[in-house]
Amino acid sequence: MPSKSAKKQDTKKKTTVIAGEDLASRLEKKIKDRSASIAIIGMGYVGLPLAVEFGRVGFKVNGIDILEKKIKTINAGKSDVDDIKDYEVKELVDLKRLHCTNDFSVLKNSDVVIICVPTPLNKTKDPDVSFILAAVEQIEKYLHQGQLVVLESTTYPGTTEELIRPKLDALGLKVGRDLFLAFSPERVDPGNEKYTTQNTPKIVGGTTPACLKVAKAFYEQVIVQVIPTSSTKAAEMVKLLENTFRSVNIGLVNEVALMCDRLGIDVWEVIDAAATKPFGFMPFYPGPGLGGHCIPIDPHYLSWKLKSLNYYARFIELAGDINSHMPEFVVEKITKALNSRRLSINGARILILGVAYKKDISDLRESPALDVIRLLQEKGAKVSYCDPFVPVIKMDHGPDLKAITLNEKTLKSCDCAAITTDHSSFNYQWIVDNSPIVVDTRNATKNVISGRKKIFKI
């Protein structure tokens, strides 16, 4: 098919548009010979690893971020993301394949733009897509023909099609012909050394078949397996199913823990025994609540969208309710443990062991340990904490809490030590031997010989 080309003056954007069917193949060629220039908006735990992967295979990557400190760190050849080492950034910066800036005008010369900005919930637990909108507003300023725009931020089904596409179409450039638009969910698991950006299969949905083809070719340059979906909506839903699956199953197992507590059954024994079933079962474990930037947040993007379609996502809401009440259950357990020594929670010296939202990382976002600390303080307890990954906690109310050193003295001088994050570096036998009372919310003491000392487990 001879490539058509026609010039038309776009009154809205004063841009000469060369509509041509070969724009996709031209971009695909630049992708395959690595001459395509990439811009990644949002250089966090998703954006920076992506930049490193593409820089490593020869692409020139401009990282765009609003945080001056982050920009300086990356351009100095250092990483501020746990999973990326300084040397990985330095070698790309030295090769001039990675540069970070807050100047969106680099988009003028970018062939591929990836949006990796946060999608939190606002105070009323509704999706906050303001970061996506802010990024798209900048993209609109520098949009040009032949560009591929990919949204990676987790969001509700329809965001790419209903929120982004109309903005780009309105500029006179036709999505699927003059430029390309796709959605590809991030699957970064912080701290996971086995599954990295490169070897975790990547879902990609295109606005049109041409968009899918180009986006798939793009990710195939660095990711071992790229899985296409029939639409951007399907790709958005895949991510939400993945994380809703976890939040609902964690909610289920937390409710099982509440039931076992009332039945006087050890929930950990029950789960371990059920996990011997070689098919049809997948173990999840109770805990002090649901932390992190994904699992507690993402499912509410789905339930919010469905509410607008007059559907109430009961499982999501129920799991959210159970998970968010687990910190209260932990405080009840601590109260019961103190009572066993005729101690009141008011005035008790409680030592919290581990505050990150999950073990062996430093991330505090949505950490249930913070809720446990707040609830204990509200009841008059004197709370201190130890966490080798978290030197200080900026509390919403009251003074910052600084981590104290974990030693025999700090253990012996508290009334109760509560394990809320089961970091591998803790010595749990030593903790039990030296603490007057231990509350364990993670079954971290499963291999400990406690002798006559009772360990209070959830």
> Which of 59-67, 95-103, 176-184, 289-297 is the region at the interface with ligand SAJ (rule: CB under 6 A)?
289-297
Chosen residue from 22, 77, 285, 343 binding ligand SAJ by CB under 6 A? 285
Chosen residue from 60, 70, 246, 457 binding ligand SAJ by CB under 6 A? 246
Q: How far is CA 320 from the centre of its chain?
A: 17
| 456 contacts 333 by C-beta, under 8 angstroms | yes
Least distance in Å: CB of 5 to ligand SAJ? 42
Q: By CB under 6 A, what part of segment 175-214 binds ligand SAJ? A: 186-190, 192
Tokens at 399, concatenated: 């003074």
Query: Which CB sits closer to ligand SAJ, 387 or 415?
Result: 387
Phi, psi (5° rounding) for residue 231?
Answer: -160, 170
Binding residue count for ligand SAJ, defined by CB under 6 A: 20
Query: Which CB sits closer to ligand SAJ, 290 or 411?
Result: 290
Q: By CB under 6 A, what part of segment 309-348 binds ligand SAJ? A: none
Least distance in Å: CB of 181 to ligand SAJ? 22
Q: Could you tell me which residues come within 8 angstroms of residue 56 by beta carbon, excluding any fewer than 6 positions away?
A: 88, 92, 222
Within 10 angstroms of residue 317's Cβ, the number of other Cβ atoms is: 15
Query: Which CB sits closer to ligand SAJ, 171 or 240?
Result: 240
Query: Which CB sits closer to ligand SAJ, 190 or 299?
Result: 190
Q: By CB under 6 A, what part of segment 111-170 binds ligand SAJ? A: none
> Which of 85-93, 105-113, 258-266, 291-299 is the region at the interface with ligand SAJ (rule: CB under 6 A)?
291-299
Selecting among 100, 116, 294, 416, the annotated active-site residue is 294
DSSP structural state of residue 163? I
How far does the chain reach from its first CA to its final CA, in angstroms? 68
Chosen residue from 295, 316, 352, 370 binding ligand SAJ by CB under 6 A? 295
116 is catalytic: no
Q: State yes or no: residue 294 binds ligand SAJ (CB under 6 A).
A: yes
Quote the CA–CA distance of 344 and 79 in Å, as a whole number.
46
Taking every pair of Cα atoms in the chain, the longest distance, rounded to a whole number of angstroms, is 87
Query: Which CB sits closer to ligand SAJ, 60 or 358?
Result: 358
Quote the CA–CA distance of 183 and 229 in Å, as a whole number.
10
> Which of 47-55, 292-300, 305-313, 423-431 is the region at the interface with ligand SAJ (rule: CB under 6 A)?
292-300
Chosen residue from 50, 117, 290, 455 binding ligand SAJ by CB under 6 A? 290
Least distance in Å: CB of 295 to ligand SAJ? 4
Q: State yes or no: residue 48 binds ligand SAJ (CB under 6 A).
A: no
Chosen residue from 250, 256, 352, 376 binding ligand SAJ by CB under 6 A? 250
Site string for ligand SAJ, 370-399 (x = CB under 6 A): ------------------------------
3-state secondary structure of 349: strand
Least distance in Å: CB of 112 to ligand SAJ? 21
Closest CA to 61 of 116, 15, 22, 129: 116
Chosen residue from 128, 169, 220, 242 binding ligand SAJ by CB under 6 A? 242
Quote the CA–CA distance of 418 and 384 in Å, as a whole number.
10
Quote the CA–CA distance of 137 and 378 in Å, as a whole number.
43
Least distance in Å: CB of 49 to ligand SAJ? 11
* DSSP line for 234-291: HHHHHHHHHHHHHHHHHHHHHHHHHHHHHHT--HHHHHHHHTT-SSS-------S---
Tokens at 328, concatenated: 């209260």
Least distance in Å: CB of 154 to ligand SAJ? 7
Quote the CA–CA distance of 136 and 163 in Å, as a whole number.
10
Quote the CA–CA distance of 214 and 181 in Å, as a whole number.
9
Q: Report how far apart, in Å, the C-alpha atoms of 392 and of each of 67, 386, 388 are.
A: 21, 10, 10
Chosen residue from 30, 70, 216, 358 binding ligand SAJ by CB under 6 A? 358
Least distance in Å: CB of 438 to ligand SAJ? 19
Tokens at 108, concatenated: 């003028």
- Type of residue at 145: Q
Query: Exposed/middle/buried for 156, CB within 10 Å: 0-12, 13-18, 19+?
Result: buried
| 327 contacts 334 by C-beta, under 8 angstroms | no
Q: State yes or no: residue 357 binds ligand SAJ (CB under 6 A).
A: yes
Least distance in Å: CB of 152 to ligand SAJ? 10
Quote the CA–CA distance of 243 and 246 in Å, as a whole number.
5
Residue in the shown chain whose Cβ atom is closest to ligand SAJ: 292
Chain contacts with ligand SAJ (rule: CB under 6 A) = 186-190, 192, 242-243, 246, 250, 284-285, 287, 290-292, 294-295, 357-358
Q: So which residues are the catalytic ones?
A: 294
